Amino acid sequence: MGQLFSTSRKVVLLHGQTQVTYPVPSNNTDLYDLHADLCRKFKLETSAIISGFIVDHENGGPVCPIRLIAALKGGERCRLVVLQHAVEDLLQLPVPPARLDRDQILNLMVSWKMLKEGTAEQRMFSFEKLCSALSDKGFAYIAVQAGQSEIVRNAVKAAKDFFADPLESKVRNKVSFPRSKFVGYSKQGKREFFQVRKVGSHYRFPWPEDEQGTSDFASAIRVLYEELSQCSRYLLENLCPLLQLDANEIRQMLDSQDDGHLENERNDKSDDVAASDFFVGSDVLRLYQYHRPLGEAPPGIANAATGIHADMGLLTVAPCANLPGLVMLSPDACRWLDVEASLYAVMDDDKLESLTMEEHPREELSLPHCDLHVESSGAPGDLKELEHKFFVVFAGETLGNLSRGKIRAPLHYVDEYVIGRPRISMPFFTRARPDSKIRRIQHSSHCNEVSVASFMEDVVLTSRPWIKPRPPPNFVVDFIRKRQGKQDHVRTSFKSDY
């Protein structure tokens, strides 16, 4: 066993009415020794298991697995997540992600047709079910309509074609702005992506073009952006009453849908330049490609191209990727859930688009503890691609704060266990404007309301245990790690592009 505690950092841990100032464990701490010590401090029953903690819980922070406690910086207030029954190997996360069965999926699924076109009673039932899934389980599925599926299918095809282009061609499709913001192409380690956010009239959007100056890629992705933007805003507005939020106030925190453009030409070529001409949108659509060559070992959680994190914004709407990979931490911190692979259980069900409360009433969901996923074996072509019939919806840190934890941003990562085939994912992040205000942050130096940008940079990026402080530069070590293809499974702190 290594050293149990660090020598200087301390955090406030809470459970029930008990509050304890506790030293941050060292990285060498045996989790079973830590668990035993915490149980003594909080006088817990011998059958209880501390599965995780909620960082910054009074301000709607996310649930974290207990393994991340050694990464706390000191000064945080965390509420322990305590289960009243033992779970095998719980303290040794990561374990293979669990799949949900068909009934469990249907308890988390709502129909877009019922959300949008149902009777008043059906719409209310569907939004209550959606809110319950987000609150209790961290995410929800939406069974979308045929037209939405076609939009996603076209975008996936366009993205595959774009990412197949030579690197020297793709890197030309990028425009950078101050504060680390950019639109267009980027390659980060083992993943590459194309980022879409609206730009002001002084800018052109860097779509790739063919010899005729046109772009099927641009056409498909613009349609996808508009569809996901409208979908996300509709969901957010109708969730507000259930979260006791003012829909008008939330609407004012968003960019106007008339702001900015996604065209390949500047809209304003005059010399008169207003501040709005340099607008960069808050909402973001990212087209990711994950593609590891045959023969390369699956990276697991330790070397994932997209490691453990929670999203920053209000609401994320992610069309189901063509191959599974999205993995989320269950709200009780006791299991990683294979969100997309679970959908194989319902992929061929044609009734989901019109799912109603009569066909499948809302019920309590019991998460699995041992139904582990089966990894793709043999040739990579053995695994059937997922159909584009579902959106996955979950909250970001900003909505967690505004709702005071009624909905929390779930921790998630991408498990790249399908090797040799490209995985295309296209999450849309609805974000509040950086200058919009949120209520005061409890137990912090911010006594009054603060901007969303300050919340991100002064709270989220400095206190979340999956974000490591940036170390002093060591160019030799960085060069060696880059050559070896290594990267940390927790993020390094960076200047927010919010």
CA 160 – CA 382 distance, rounded (Å): 19
Can you tell me the mean pLDDT for 289-311? 91
- For residue 370, the model assigns a pLDDT of 37
What band does 155 get if pLDDT is binned at 50, 70 and 90?
very high
CA 298 – CA 323 distance, rounded (Å): 14
What band does 492 get if pLDDT is binned at 50, 70 and 90?
very low
Residue 343 has pLDDT above 80, yes or no: yes
Residue 99 has pLDDT above 70, yes or no: yes
Mean pLDDT of the chain: 84
Residue 410 has pLDDT above 80, yes or no: yes
Residue 258 has pLDDT above 60, yes or no: yes
Can you tell me the mean pLDDT for 307-326? 95
pLDDT (tens digit per residue) in 452-474? 998 998 888 888 998 876 555 55
Residue 402 has pLDDT above 90, yes or no: yes
What band does 352 get if pLDDT is binned at 50, 70 and 90?
confident
Q: Which residue has the higher pLDDT, 186 or 371?
A: 186
Residue 273 has pLDDT above 60, yes or no: no
Residue 345 backbone phi and psi in degrees, to 5: -70, -20
What dihedral angle (degrees, nearest 10) is formed by the CA atoms of 332, 78, 451, 287? -40
Burial of 128 by CB count in 10 Å (0-12 exposed, 13-18 middle, 19+ buried)? middle
What CA–CA distances, in Å, run from 191 to 124, 291, 384? 40, 7, 22
Residue 210 has pLDDT above 80, yes or no: no
Quick check: 82 and 49 in contact, CB under 8 A?
A: yes
Q: Quick one: DSSP state of residue 90?
A: G
- For residue 264, the model assigns a pLDDT of 81
Can you tell me the mean pLDDT for 184-190? 93
Residue 180 has pLDDT above 60, yes or no: yes
Cβ partners under 8 Å of residue 76, min gap 6: 11, 12, 55, 56, 463
C-alpha angle 196-199-200 in degrees, rounded to nearest 5: 175
Cβ partners under 8 Å of residue 121, min gap 6: none
Nearest residue to 393 (alpha-carbon basis) of 239, 267, 211, 261: 239
What distance, in Å, lies between the first and last C-alpha atoms of the chain? 42
- The percent of residues above 90 in pLDDT, for the chain, comes to 55
pLDDT (tens digit per residue) in 417-466? 889 999 999 999 999 999 999 876 666 555 578 899 989 988 888 889 98
Can you tell me the mean pLDDT for 109-124? 95
- For residue 361, the model assigns a pLDDT of 59
Residue 490 has pLDDT above 60, yes or no: no
CA 311 – CA 290 distance, rounded (Å): 19
User: 3-state DSSP helix/strand/coil percent for the chain, to nearest 5?
Assistant: 30, 20, 50
Token pair recorded at residue 444? 């912090």
3-state secondary structure 428-457: EEECCCCCCEECCCCCCCCCCCEEHHHHHH
Specify the range with the lowest mean pLDDT, choosing from 58-67, 356-365, 382-391.
356-365
What band does 31 get if pLDDT is binned at 50, 70 and 90?
confident
Residue 249 has pLDDT above 90, yes or no: yes
Can you tell me the mean pLDDT for 5-13? 81
Alpha helices in 183-308 (DSSP H): 216-239, 247-253
- The percent of residues above 70 in pLDDT, for the chain, comes to 79
Residue 57 has pLDDT above 80, yes or no: yes
Can you tell me the mean pLDDT for 45-64? 90
Residue 88 has pLDDT above 80, yes or no: no
Cβ partners under 8 Å of residue 40, min gap 6: none
- For residue 317, the model assigns a pLDDT of 98
Residue 332 has pLDDT above 80, yes or no: yes
Residue 353 has pLDDT above 90, yes or no: no
Residue 345 has pLDDT above 90, yes or no: no
- For residue 6, the model assigns a pLDDT of 62
Residue 376 has pLDDT above 50, yes or no: no
- For residue 375, the model assigns a pLDDT of 42
Can you tell me the mean pLDDT for 79-107? 74
What band does 177 get if pLDDT is binned at 50, 70 and 90?
confident
